[in-house]
Amino acid sequence: MKPMIWHPEEKDKKVNEYIDKTNRAPYFGIILGIIGLFTVFSTAVLLGVF
């Protein structure tokens, strides 16, 4: 049975760098969605008043 000790390999460093570079939260899309929902809600309320 092989020992359960993990030793990092060279490709692991490259994979981690790629993940760190590409794995970002889409803050722009989230803010744009919130603004869009707010605009639609405000328009519906203003049109519903009249």
| CA 11 to centroid of chain Cα atoms | 25
Q: What's residue 27's pLDDT?
A: 93
Global confidence as pTM: 0.56
Which runs of consecutive H residues, i.e. helices, occur in 1-50?
10-22, 27-49
Q: What's residue 3's pLDDT?
A: 76
pLDDT tens-digit series, residues 1-50 = 777 888 888 898 898 999 988 888 899 999 999 999 999 999 999 999 98
- Specify the DSSP element, H or E, that contains 22: helix 10-22
Q: What's residue 47's pLDDT?
A: 96
